[in-house]
Structure 1
Amino acid sequence: MRGPEVHPPPRLSRVSNSDTQSTPEALAALPLRENLRGLSPYGAPQLEVPVTLNTNENTHPVPDEVVEAIAASVAEAAVTLNRYPDREFTELRKRLSEYLGHGLSETQLWAANGSNEILQQLLQAFGGPGRTVMGFPPTYSMYPLLAAGTDTGYLAGVRGENFSLSAASAARQVAEHRPNVVLLCSPNNPTGTALGLDVVEAVYEAAEAHQGMVVVDEAYAEFALAGTESALSLLTGRPRLVVTRTMSKAFALAGARLGYLAAAPEVTDALRLVRLPYHLSAVAQATANAALQHYDVLLETVEDIKRQRDRIVEGLRALGLDPAVSDSNFVFFGGLGDAHAVWQGLLDRGVLVRDVGIAHHLRVTAGTEAETTAFLDALREVMTGA
């Protein structure tokens, strides 16, 4: 099987009018870096429809008691907004370490404006010109764009049948191509499947030969099926292993933009070299601290989301479709003759899902019970021509 090559991010369709106020010609006339020419910004369609299930948000509203706690915390922070925030976000790192457990100390925690900024900082510190980062598509589509933004070469690894990734295959590719950073998305987006810890261990061992960093992106970890283990359990004794998380999904705080990582203390020290001054605002810190004091309430919605996810899987199978096993809050499914036509049919019925650009496949977020019912009913109509 042919191995990966260094290449720029995919040349996507030109920037849409909803994303920019300029013309393509005006943008092209600027002295952009060559590896940014022709690219489009990341972003899913933002359309006004009754049921929006395309961006893997937690569609449950933040509980009232948490809203009140966040409002009180932000109000307290507002009194001192004339001063810069705590540059080291000390309270937040302590609360994150307590939430994650695994014997982690606050010196091993780092936070930023969403896990995307975490990943960007990692590439700023360990990637850059003359260096490479390896991902295994289909996977999170931001990875090659983050690589382009940091002028890091992107290596597209190869997956096996049904988009699987075995320990032996992943380790072999890492040993052959010696990337400076490896990105393992688990549960993977868009397929929803989690990696076994044997894959993480094998990749780390392969990367050790050239001192490569291994980053496990666990944005959807709280939705994992019973028995799925987190790479957090592998951090001890592995100074170049990083596990990233987010409060956007399980915590229903996508609008707060708070991502974080756990790693060896020297990794967080490395990120201090590239972070912008006072990068995490006092308002963001206050919001996250209040939410973490009520994480048990926030995570109550996770079990309902998992029930709706499993209900979607059953409903898709009943329609003769092929859903992937999901450890996340979304379902990736195949068996569609014309995926885009099905996407359009759902949209015509007021349901927005994600066309991820993979032939015969779509992805749908598990929403509330009512949203899930609306999706399954609409899909049944589309599939039966009703």
Structure 2
Amino acid sequence: MIDVEDWAEIRRMHRVEGLSARAVARQLGISRNTVLRALASDRPPRYRRASKGSAVDAVEPAVRELLKQTPTMPVTVIAERIGWERGMTILRERVRELRPAYLPVDPVSRTVYEPGELAQCDLWFPPVDIPLGYGQTGRPPVLVIVSGYSRMITARMLPSRQTGDLIDGHWRLLTGWQAVPKTLVWDNEPGIGKGRLTSEFAAFAGLLAIRVHLCRPRDPAGPGQRSQCHRRALPRPGGPRRGHPVCRWGQHSAVLAHHTTGLQAAADRPGQPRVPAAGWVSAFLRSYLKFTSGVVESDVPKANASEIGLPSQTFRRIRLTSPFGRTVISVTNGHLPYPYGHETTGYKVANLATTLSKAKAAGATVLSGPHLSGGRHSAIVTFPGGYVAEIHDDNSG
């Protein structure tokens, strides 16, 4: 009987890597019939037999001590030092598992990812209390997923950091991508697993045929793609956005939209949800500028809202620059017409008309614009696969 992790790995190797059942069985050292049963089942195994242990267990403390002194010590030398008289295969496998924990992290290594190879996940918590409705405030977790190749960022606010809510958040965000990366990277979140995946999340990974990598504790190379402010929150189906910051980060520029749900009862101001209070915005802006080392370039309290799809209204627009690039912060009540607020990234180009022509030739669709607003020509475009981006060609970024 295989366990949940083996079941998930079998499905990943077969579906993602395209290996045959025979190849999977050979790599994992299990029978082909076991692989076929795992592929035929759409549910993870419900129990596993207790491990009988290994002959290496008795000498593992001595192996760890030798690796602690000399992380690169060859297996043959380790076998001689501990007086190993059994087969070398099981000793090599155990040393292979233990050695990475004692090897120093390479401070100058360069990491390169292929498209669809990896996405890094983490939870972010707002720096200030957020109105949750009915007089309640709090700081709910925001699940953030970052693509290792494109740096595309997507996020969603969750009710809690429990496993069930984390699985639901992954499902909704990956559904928005309309694609599943080969590997998800997590940094020891209890709801995901510490050292090994929780049974529920392992089953979820098996259903998607993906691998989940759990970073070692205190590994400085682990959180490579994360950023504590570049977060995007997706709208709730059939309803307004929850109150939290939203970032659309791109290669050339960023657009950050600060939204909230209606904070007043309908009887108070019917049909006119309030924008975030000035103190709330100021607190968030201070936190964002502190993290990014950014500088405010302009702050227009009543900018023309036609650039966010509301031509007869105004909104507060803040533009800043930082080592991360240029950022636009839009303070609104969150009730924006489609496709505004759905764009993932903002791009600055030399010529908007030329760019749109090339994009449409490649299968993209212009959802809005081009139009002139805020001193720039801009348009919102959706690319094959559902990727939505804002493109502009002004000189201000």
Q: TM-score, normalised by structure 2?
A: 0.22
More helix by share: 1
- For the pair shown, the structure with the greater C-alpha radius of gyration is 2
Q: Determine which structure has greater relative contact order: mean sequence separation of CA pairs < 8 Å that are 6+ residues apart, divided by chain length.
A: 1
Q: TM-score, normalised by structure 1?
A: 0.22
More strand by share: 2
